[in-house]
Copies of this chain bind each other. A is one copy, B any other.
Amino acid sequence: VLDFTVENLTAEEVARLRAIYEPLTHSVRDLVDATIRTEVGAEEVAEAKAAIDAATARLRTKQVDGAFGIRFSSDGDQMPWGNAVTGMRNPTAPPLVVEHESDGGVFADFHLGAAYEGPPGHVHGGVAALILDHILGEAASSPDSPRLTGTITVRYLRTTPLGPLHVEARIDRTEGVKTFAVGHISDDQGVTVRAEGVFIQPRWTRD
């Protein structure tokens, strides 16, 4: 059984925490990109490293044990702020901001830069799988009924360029505890990667 921490934070408290930590995450995301691309020399790198280590030590003076987890606000909203794909507090997340459509479909418009590279100038195939796994899972889940990936198949039509991208997914059908979802990533020339997956309602959420 997974540990979903209930914090019962008010909407005001959630907004206050977001205002503190979201700008920090943006800055670290920018630093990640600069770290990959920089060509400055040894001395400047050493000085930047020392400043970064000092900032890290300061941030670690008070921190949660282990990973961030998922917390809930008092109105039941999930706060998956550490999530590897959508986490507002996770600098390795693009992050995806997932939009829900009235017909149950979900989509996100996002941008992938240097941190997501596989083939030169292109998205790592595994990063495409990461994003599709997440978005199909969001399409298959509802707030009161999370679903975890059972099996996912990802088909690569062509390499996906780094830059502005779109991803979308929807439920194809549901059979008992299994929900079948489909989706794809596209650039401005069309679809680059397709996925289909089976998502399972965890035993501990079944009645």
A interface with B by C-beta (< 8 Å): 2-5, 19-21, 23-25, 27-28, 30-32, 34-42, 44-45, 47-49, 51-56, 58-64, 66-70, 81-85, 87, 89-92, 113-122, 124-127, 129-134, 137, 148-156, 159, 162
Contacts and interface: CB of A to CB of B under 8 A. Distances in A.
Contact of A152 (B41, B52, B121, B154): B154
Contacts of A70: 119-120
Contacts of A20: 41-42, 45
Given A49-B24, A119-B2, A120-B5, A56 B36 contact: no
A56 B32 CA distance: 9
Nearest to A156: B149
B32 A32 contact: yes
Nearest to A119: B2
B32 A83 contact: no
Contact of A126 (B24, B40, B133, B153): B133
Closest CB pairs A-B (n = 3): A126-B130, A126-B133, A67-B114
A92 B120 contact: no
Given A40-B59, A68-B114, 6 more contacts: A30-B56, A38-B63, A82-B114, A91-B115, A151-B154, A153-B154
Contacts of A87: 36, 117
